[in-house]
Amino acid sequence: MTEAGVRETGPGEGDGLNCLMVQTSRGYRVLLAGLLGEIDLYPGQERVMTAIWENGPQSQNALARIVGIDVSTMTKSLQRLERSGFVRRSPCPTNRRVSIVDTTPEGDALRPRIDRVLSEVHARMTRGLTPEQTDQLRSLLGVVRGNICREAAPDAGPAGPGPLTGC
């Protein structure tokens, strides 16, 4: 307890910031996985699809950079998406060693479904919050992300990662 009678919570306490972040991250992942599973996607694959839709066909390496994951993780994600018929890989016309990834018509048909999933996740996350509180939460999480990502990847720059990138 502090002098003002406020209980301090330490790093390992059940209602401490560390615990809340872990529980929130886990809950978000479980919610997202459940909703994406209904459209035959795994978490992270919606980010790959969005990256292609927003940036056009890309090499695997470029997609990995855009999404903020390592190339081996991107390869595994693309293999799953390709097996599902949502993306196709073709050799780059100027460098046959590089694969260019694009969406298929089946993959493009997922766009409104992914948008609905992400809207539902947003609605559930912000249930009970006013628009002002939602804006404040977004701002605070942006600061926290910047603090964490700056330490995880010191060369990420002062602005921190972009909207689709990870740490």
What is the side-by-side strand order in the sheet with 87-91? 58-59, 99-103, 87-91
State the CATH number of the domain containing residue 55: 1.10.10.10
pLDDT of residue 161: 42
Residue 65 lies in a domain: yes
Going through the chain in order, the beta strands assigned E by DSSP cover: 58-59, 87-91, 99-103
Determine the average pLDDT of the residues in 136-144.
95
Between 28 and 165, the more confident residue is 28
Determine the average pLDDT of the residues in 161-167.
43
Question: How far is residue 166's CA from residue 153's CA, in Å, rounded to a whole number?
Answer: 10
Residue 162 lies in a domain: no
Residue 130 lies in a domain: no
- pLDDT of 81-139, one tens digit each? 999 999 999 998 898 889 999 999 999 999 999 999 999 999 999 999 999 999 999 99
Residue 150: band (very low, low, confident or very high) from pLDDT cuts 50, 70, 90: confident
Say how many domains are in the chain. Answer: 1
- pLDDT of 48-94, one tens digit each? 999 999 999 999 999 999 999 999 999 999 999 999 999 999 998 89
**Ramachandran quadrant class, 7 (left: phi over 0; alpha: psi -120 to 50; beta: rest):** beta
pLDDT of residue 96: 86
Question: What pTM did the predictor assign?
Answer: 0.77
Question: Any idea which residue has 């559930």 for tokens?
Answer: 124
Residue 46 lies in a domain: yes
